[in-house]
Amino acid sequence: MKITVRELKKVLENALLNEGKMEQALFEYEFEELMDELLESLIADKDDYLFALTTHKNDITGNEDTAMVLIEPTGTVYINEVARDKLKEVWENNYERNIKQLIPDFAKQLYSGEIPINGIKTV
């Protein structure tokens, strides 16, 4: 049974706002092959950072797992909880507000089978 947009929002809120655990295996499965493309996109768009996240139903637990990556133009890669912590650092006092604003769109993208990818420009 496919997860709903509403359920995806809850999964994302847990992972991004409630310090939920993220899965290394899901990062490896979804993002390792995309790393070159993500870095190229970051550089082409002249972003300061790029982050992406995904979810996938865990066949063993039945829970929805989450993975996240954040990349700098230097090629430095932050994975899962470390990526979330780095994004909090980048956005400082705006992290919670920004994430709450983005979660509905992220959930819709994930529901339609897309991986949400966001470039960030800092001032």
CA angle, 53 then 57 then 22, to 5°:
45
For 95-120, how does the pLDDT look when each residue is reduced to its tens digit (9 = 90+)? 999 999 999 999 999 999 999 999 99
DSSP summary character for residue 95: H
What count of other Cβ atoms lies within 10 Å of the Cβ of residue 6? 10
Supply the pLDDT for residue 3. Answer: 85
| Mean pLDDT for the stretch of residues 14-26 | 94
- Residues 88/67, Cβ–Cβ less than 8 Å: no
pLDDT tens-digit series, residues 56-74 = 887 666 678 999 999 998 9
Q: What integer pLDDT is reported at residue 77 of this predicted model? A: 96
Classify 64 as helix, strand or coil. Answer: strand
DSSP calls for 33-46: GGHHHHHHHHHHTT
- pLDDT of residue 82 exceeding 90, the answer is yes
Distance CA 51, CA 39 (A): 10
* Domain-wise residue ranges, the chain: 5-120
Q: Residue 101: what residue type? A: Q
